[in-house]
Structures are given as structure tokens and as C-alpha cells.
């Protein structure tokens, strides 16, 4: 059995006892990371890889995880680190360990200049309910949809789930949703007719892409299904392009997978294939102390190779 044992078809990955203990020991000794620009420094990656090499069966396990996240695999995974979080807490030691594991998938980087490598996504009762920090339904989307080079992977690490038991994560296979569309809708979604969001204080994600097509002609490992439900209200869309996007949104909902992240769970999503969102948090958030409300940390990953539209 490898360090990461796949739990059936649910893509939840559980750690066997021996490597779990080794990772707990490792977490207490890993050094802090340095950045080169916005990217995790080569020296930090090399040190983390060398330290992880001492963990039993790590090579086979990372290969398995990479296969799951590939364009021919599941496309997303949830690595369960809850028992490690119970011992190390969710502070610096735990984040160094999580970062070391993610560096085996792709290179961690910090596209938002105003936030740290691990970006907080907490619960703000005054925010628009539909935002990631709000309390309502967060509709399907990919991150940095309006950049020419979005992150290849997005990661969400659960520090605290909703203490009232709601706020399930939802994911959907965008490629499969597209395959269920009518040919006329697919054709409309190749038009550069869609727009969403601002573009400022960003790094290493290319240029602003506005307007953008939802569908491109790139292979699955390079192209994206550029979708966010918010573009339906923020783009100045004509009726036919709006209806095509609504049809895609409906297919994403029809094919969605839902699960509730627990403390220490780390969701990794291949953005070339999947979109994500969140069900509403439970009513009664005003009765929960701020320090006990749902809190996730987000980190982005960049693979090698060009992903910018038209890049060769």
C-alpha cells in the first residue's frame, strides 16, 4: 500500500499509518520556504523533495497522485491530512508539509501580489453571498478565468469546515459537460464574447483576456473551459451567447459531485478539466464566533509548458 491510498471511486486519499507518522515527524523539521519572484524557489523545492524521499513509498504514491490529476485520470483529488493536522496544528509546520506535497504535483506560485502564497478564504457575513468568502451558493467557476495563463491547478486546504455542517464543496467535469451540449451551443461558446472580473496586481498569469471564448481549440492538457457563472450577469451578452452559457451551466450542475471538506482535507483541482464551487453555508452564521467560522486556504500551481492561447 502506498503513502496515499485511494478510497474507492470518491477520490479521497487516505494515509496509511506508517507514512502518516513519517510525515508528522517530517512536518516538525521542514524549513520555511523562499520565493523566486512569485514562485516557490528551486532551493525550497529541492530541499522538500529530498526530505520527502525519506517517507516510505513516496515515489509510488506521488506517481499515483499525478496520474489521478492528469487529463486521463480523475482530474481532482482530496488528500486527507486531518490526523496530521491534529498533531501539528494548521500553522507553519502543517503548511510547509502541504506545500512540499503540492510541489510534487506542480510548482506553487503566488499570482495575487497582495496576498501570501497560501491565500485565506474565510467567511465574511458582509460579503456578497455568492463570493468565495460569502455565505451563499458559490456557483461553478475556474480561478483567474480572465487571464491568458490561468493556474493549471487550484488547491483548497480546509482549516475549519462550517461548524454548522453545511458548505459542501462541489466540482464538475467541464469537459464532459461540454460534450453534452448541442452543436450550436458549442459553436457559440468558441466566440470571444464573454468577460468577467478585474485584472490588477497579478503576476505570472499572462495578460488580461477580455473578451474571451469559453471553448478554445487547445488540447485538454493546455486549453481551458473558461467558465464562471458570474459572467452571465457581468458580460454584455446577446441572447444566443447567454443561452449557450446557461446550457453549459446546467450541464455542469447536472454532473456535479458534492463532498464536505473536513479539517486537514486538501482538494486539488486540475483547472484544464474541472470547475468548482460551494453549496451555501448553514443559516445561523451570526451566532458563530468569527474565529470558529469556515476557513479555507488556497494555493495555486503552475505546470511546465505553455498554456497561453495561441502559444506553440
pLDDT in tens, the chain (312 residues): 344 444 445 688 888 889 999 999 999 999 999 999 999 999 999 999 999 999 997 887 788 889 889 888 889 999 999 999 999 999 999 999 999 999 999 999 999 989 999 999 999 999 999 999 999 999 999 999 999 999 999 999 999 999 999 999 999 999 999 999 999 999 999 999 999 988 989 999 999 999 999 999 899 889 999 999 999 988 789 999 999 999 999 999 999 999 999 999 999 999 999 999 999 999 999 999 999 999 999 999 999 765 566 554
State the pLDDT at residue 308: 64
State the pLDDT at residue 312: 45
State the pLDDT at residue 58: 81
State the pLDDT at residue 79: 92
Q: Tell me the C-alpha distance between 97 and 93, whole Å.
A: 6
State the pLDDT at residue 67: 86
State the pLDDT at residue 169: 97
Domains of the chain plus CATH, in order, are 5-302 (3.60.130.10)
State the pLDDT at residue 101: 96
- Cβ proximity of 54 and 29 under 8 Å: no
Largest pairwise CA distance in the chain: 58
- Cβ proximity of 123 and 116 under 8 Å: no
Least Cα distance to 301 among 105, 66, 97, 100 occurs for 105
Can you list the alpha helix ranges (DSSP code H) found in 36-125?
A: 42-52, 58-69, 82-88, 92-102
Q: Tell me the C-alpha distance between 39 and 167, whole Å.
A: 31
Amino acid at each position: 500500500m502506498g503513502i496515499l491510498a485511494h478510497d474507492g471511486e470518491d477520490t479521497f486519499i487516505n494515509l496509511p499509518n506508517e507514512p502518516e507518522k513519517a510525515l508528522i515527524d517530517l512536518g516538525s523539521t521542514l524549513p520555511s520556504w523562499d520565493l523566486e519572484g512569485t514562485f516557490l524557489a528551486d532551493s525550497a523545492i529541492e530541499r522538500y523533495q529530498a526530505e520527502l524521499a525519506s517517507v516510505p513509498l513516496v515515489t509510488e504514491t506521488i506517481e499515483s497522485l499525478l496520474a489521478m490529476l492528469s487529463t486521463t485520470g480523475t482530474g481532482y483529488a482530496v488528500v486527507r491530512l486531518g490526523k496530521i493536522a491534529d498533531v501539528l496544528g494548521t500553522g507553519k509546520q502543517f503548511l510547509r508539509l502541504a506545500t512540499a506535497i503540492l510541489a510534487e504535483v506542480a510548482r506553487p506560485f503566488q499570482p495575487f501580489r497582495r496576498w501570501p502564497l497560501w491565500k485565506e478564504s474565510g467567511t465574511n457575513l458582509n460579503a456578497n453571498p455568492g463570493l468565495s468568502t460569502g455565505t451563499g451558493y458559490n456557483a461553478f467557476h475556474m480561478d483567474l478565468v480572465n487571464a491568458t495563463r490561468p493556474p493549471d491547478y487550484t488547491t483548497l486546504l480546509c482549516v475549519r469546515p462550517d461548524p454548522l455542517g453545511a458548505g459542501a464543496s462541489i466540482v464538475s467535469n467541464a469537459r464532459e459537460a461540454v460534450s453534452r451540449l448541442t452543436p450550436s451551443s458549442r459553436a457559440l461558446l468558441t466566440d470571444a464574447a464573454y468577460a468577467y472580473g478585474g485584472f490588477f496586481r497579478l503576476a505570472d498569469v499572462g495578460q488580461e483576456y477580455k473578451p474571451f471564448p469559453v471553448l478554445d481549440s487547445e488540447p485538454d492538457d493546455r486549453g481551458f473551459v473558461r467558465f464562471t457563472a458570474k459572467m452571465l450577469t457581468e458580460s454584455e451578452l446577446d441572447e444566443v451567447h447567454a443561452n449557450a452559457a446557461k446550457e453549459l451551466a446546467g450541464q455542469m450542475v447536472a454532473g456535479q459531485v458534492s463532498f464536505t471538506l473536513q479539517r486537514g482535507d486538501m482538494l486539488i483541482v486540475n483547472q484544464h478539466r474541472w470547475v468548482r464551487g460551494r453549496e451555501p453555508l448553514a443559516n445561523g452564521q451570526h451566532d458563530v464566533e468569527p474565529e470558529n467560522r469556515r476557513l479555507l486556504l488556497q494555493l495555486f500551481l503552475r505546470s511546465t509548458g505553455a498554456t497561453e492561447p495561441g502559444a506553440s
